[in-house]
Each structure stands twice: as structure tokens, then as C-alpha cells.
């Protein structure tokens, strides 16, 4: 049973560029949550997707957007990258919104130069 997968593993971008990160949830899960983890910090909630809709959002600017596809996989898009966007981006999947355990992927390390 494949767990949560994320791609790519690492990514290097330049300020002002745009980036797309991808997440495939664990088999049987229909909800995807995204978190940003800056170096030395705990993860911060970005948003959650359920039934292809954004149902909850953290304190992140509109430069951060997402999408969920009919197969429940998800993308996180970040526009106009800033140096401060450098972080580990974690995806977590769960069933029916996340009332049960959220399973995390290995993350994507984004570096903005």
C-alpha cells in the first residue's frame, strides 16, 4: 500500500518565479492538507482540500494557491516567489476531512535564491 508521495524531492527557484508542487494521497484517502515548515520551525498549515474544494485556509497570502483533482491528488502553487518561501513543504492525506490520522509525505524542499 503506497503511502503519501510528493514530487519533486528538491527544487531550486529564483525570486519572482512560480513553482508547482505535487502530492498523491494514501490509497483510500480523499483529503489533502498542505503545510510549510521553515528551517528549525514546526509545520504551519497552508490549506486543506476536500471534494476538490479548498475548505480551510491558514494565514498565507493569495500567492499560495492549490488544486485537487478528481483522483484526490493535489497541487500547491506559489507565485512570485520570495526568499522567505524557502522551506520544506509537507503534504498530509486523510479521510473525510482529517478527523482521523493525517498521514504525511516526505516533503518537497524548496530553495529560493
Partner 1 sequence: AQTVTQSQPEMSVQEAETVTLSCTYDTSESDYYLFWYKQPPSRQMILVIRQEAYKQQNATENRFSVNFQKAAKSFSLKISDSQLGDAAMYFCAYRSPNFGNEKLTFGTGTRLTIIP
All three cell numbers of 66, joined, read 492549490
- Are 57 and 47 within 8 A, CB to CB? yes
Strand 44-50 and strand 10-13: the pairing is unpaired
**Nearest distance in Å: CB 96, partner 1:** 9
Q: Does 36 bind partner 1 (CB under 8 A)?
A: no
43 touches partner 1 by CB under 8 A: yes
x/- mask, partner 1, residues 63-92, rule CB under 8 A, reads -------------------------x-x-x
Using CB under 8 A, which of 45, 60, 67, 73 touches partner 1?
45
DSSP string, 1-51: ----EEE-SEEEE-TT--EEEEEEPPTT--EEEEEEE-TTS--EEEEEEET
Q: How far is the CB of 4 from partner 1 (least distance, A)?
A: 9
In which region does residue 45 sit, left (phi positive, over 0), alpha (psi from -120 to 50) or beta (all else)?
beta
Answer yes or no: are the C-beta atoms of 8 and 73 closer than 8 Å.
Answer: no
Instruction: Decide if residue 13 touches partner 1 (CB under 8 A).
Output: no
Q: Does 11 bind partner 1 (CB under 8 A)?
A: no
Residues binding partner 1 (CB under 8 A): 31, 33, 35, 40-45, 48, 55-56, 58, 88, 90, 92, 94, 97-99, 101-107, 109
Amino acid at each position: 500500500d503506497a503511502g503519501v508521495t510528493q514530487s519533486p524531492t528538491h527544487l531550486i527557484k529564483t525570486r519572482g518565479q512560480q513553482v508547482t508542487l505535487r502530492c498523491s494521497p494514501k490509497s483510500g484517502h480523499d483529503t489533502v492538507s498542505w503545510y510549510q515548515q521553515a528551517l528549525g520551525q514546526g509545520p504551519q498549515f497552508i490549506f486543506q482540500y476536500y471534494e476538490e474544494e479548498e475548505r480551510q485556509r491558514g494565514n498565507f497570502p493569495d500567492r499560495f494557491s492549490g488544486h485537487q483533482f478528481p483522483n484526490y491528488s493535489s497541487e500547491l502553487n506559489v507565485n512570485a516567489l520570495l526568499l522567505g518561501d524557502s522551506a520544506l513543504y509537507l503534504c498530509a492525506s486523510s479521510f473525510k476531512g482529517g478527523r482521523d490520522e493525517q498521514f504525511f509525505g516526505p516533503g518537497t524542499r524548496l530553495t529560493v535564491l
